[in-house]
A and B are shown apart, each in its own frame.
Chain A
Amino acid sequence: MNIIEIHKLSKYYHRSRGIEDITLNVPQGSIFGFIGPNGAGKSTTIRILLNLIFPTSGSAKIFGMDVVKDSKKIRSRIGYIPSDANMYDRMTVDEFLKFGAAFYGVGNNNPRMQYLLELFDLDPMRKIHELSMGNKKKVSIIQALVHRPELLILDEPTSGLDPLIQSRFFALLLEENLNGTTIFFSSHVLSEVQTLCKTVAIIKDGKIINVENIASMRDKQLKKVRIVSDKEITIQDLGIDGIGPVESGMGKTLLFFFSGDINALIGSLTSQQIENLSIEEPPLEEIFLHYYK
């Protein structure tokens, strides 16, 4: 069963593109990554899901309900961490959290709020405007989790968090997920998504360009090949199939991605005078970058 179902969703701001024709399903119980560079349309998609903005065309459902018509009901079951942690500055952390939690019927002196405040080492008596960016982010995380939502929508949730707090946050997310919470994790940093998510949707220029299993992204056998020769050679000299994006295609050093038969590559190199050869599995970041080229 899918918790989020997005069907041919588009949003234009006057004439400029927000997102175009996005279709995406997020299965219940998953931690689903939503990856793309800044300006790709991640926040636009999320804002439509929360009915903060209205779609130009297409539709989206959460928990089987329409995000426009049933937005209030949907939001009562969601926790949301926005990319910018903007809050009512004059409130204390305690006042702000209690104010937000009251909308979900969570009363004062809630033990979970206490637990989360201690976990993130946050003083509830401090004024919001006194908090650093990272501490504001912690408040934002707590307000999203305190009412035990069925779906967490996270938009760049780690910006401003130090590594220690980030690891606590990720551990908490895994715990929530084990307890049945579905997590929709939007980020432009693949490395943080790959530690949590099994599946990612990749968005570029407002369009979904791929929905991939993290493991299968690695298993595509995309290798990064570096050949150093004592004479000038070109990539065409190798005469093999499966050459992917090329970083250096001629000269004494060839550098390219290769997804073809590794034996064919080795075979072709036997006819070349080479000084050095390295074949390695590229970091996921590099594989990911090629989606944007």
Chain B
Amino acid sequence: MNRILFFMEMRRNARSLLLWSLVISALVFFTMSFFHTVMQYQQQIAGMVQLIPAVAMKMRGFSNINDIFSVMGFYAANNIIYMMLVGSIFAIVLSSNILLKEEFGKTAEYLMSRPISRNEIFLTKLTLAFLNIFILNLIVTLVGFVAIRVYKEGSFNIDPFLVISLYTLLLNLLFGALGFFISVVMKRARPVTFFCVGLALVLYFLYSISKMTGVDGTFGYLSPFKWVNVEVLSPSYTFEMWRIGLFAGIAGLLISVSNFIYRKKDILT
């Protein structure tokens, strides 16, 4: 890793990281502020929810209406979407542009003519992207934790909260790895932001469809969103090694292939 490039990139991305962190944190805090109201009108809400089709409920992440009457269930049903989807969009957009912006910004020729190897550039930018994703997750998780503490009624078990937060981080890192892969296979030097946002939305849609139809077969697992276990209220909810292995394995593979391609490719002009 190259220290000079790392600190330059850190400064370059600080504003964007701060903005995304603030927006997602505000959304999380704002959503959690409704928990008190939900608890206050528990019976009326339960009655109203009966009218909502079961399919729509499942798509939203509710398997049981009582889920939203516990602070963790409410948090998972309403806030995990921000970090799973919006965090993944942040991750894939950041990672796909972090190498490619040197090429479409025409600074690749300058940077690569310094005494720095391709591998160092790749690893520095990878470290920086993953650090940004980690910081975003850390900030939002802390804000989520504080929001839960502030708005909770009754007891709150922190374990499922930590597990879902780790899964979300792994999901975001996987999207980061996917972003790197997309950037190194591009044949033209131009931003890929729209493509990446579209890809994240398509994968999220695929996941939503699989949840809605209740199909737990293979097609749902094409979407990495499906690899996250969101059943936070399940008594047996904990880390599952196969899920962690799946995230780490696919992300590792994407990063290794991306690094190999990047070290051998011509700069795009």
* A34 within 8 Å of B (CB atoms): no
B116 touches A103 (CB 8 A): yes
Residue contacts A-B, CB under 8 angstroms, 13 given: A47-B109, A51-B112, A52-B109, A52-B113, A72-B115, A72-B116, A75-B115, A75-B116, A84-B109, A100-B110, A102-B4, A103-B4, A104-B114
Distance of A128 Cα from B108 Cα, bound (Å):
16
Query: Which residue in chain A gives the minimum CB-CB distance to B105?
Result: A86
Report, as a range, how many residues of chain B touch the other chain.
10 to 19
A82 contacts chain B at the CB level, 8 A cutoff: yes
Whether the pair A82, B113 counts as a contact (CB closer than 8 A) is: yes
A1 to B113 alpha-carbon distance, docked (Å) = 24
Let me know if A50 and B110 touch, CB within 8 A: no
Which A residues lie within 8 Å of B109 (CB)? 47, 52, 82, 84, 86
Point out the residues of chain A lying under 8 angstroms from B267, CB to CB. 47, 52-53
Q: Are B264 and A103 in contact (CB under 8 A)?
A: no
Shortest CB distance A38–B (Å): 14
Q: Which residues of B contact A (CB under 8 A)?
A: 4, 8, 12, 105-110, 112-117, 264-267
Question: A72 is contacted by which of B8, B117, B264 (Cβ under 8 Å)?
Answer: B117
With both beta carbons as reference points, the residue of chain B lying nearest to A144 in the complex is identified as B113
Q: Which residues of A contact B (CB under 8 A)?
A: 47, 50-54, 71-73, 75-76, 78, 80, 82, 84, 86-88, 90, 99-100, 102-104, 143
- Looking at chain B's contact residues, the main secondary structure is loop
Cβ B107 vs Cβ A71 within 8 A = no
Cβ of B116 and Cβ of A82 under 8 Å apart? no
Known A54-B266, A99-B8: A75·B106 in contact at CB below 8 Å: no
A103 touches B266 (CB 8 A): no
| Contact across chains for A86 and B110 when beta carbons are under 8 A apart | yes
- The listed residue with most B CB atoms (<10 A of its CB), out of A73, A76, A84, A99, is A99
Task: Kindly list 11 other residue pairs between chains A and B, CB separation below 8 angstroms, not including A86-B109, A99-B4.
Answer: A50-B112, A51-B112, A52-B113, A72-B116, A72-B117, A84-B106, A86-B106, A88-B105, A100-B110, A104-B114, A143-B110
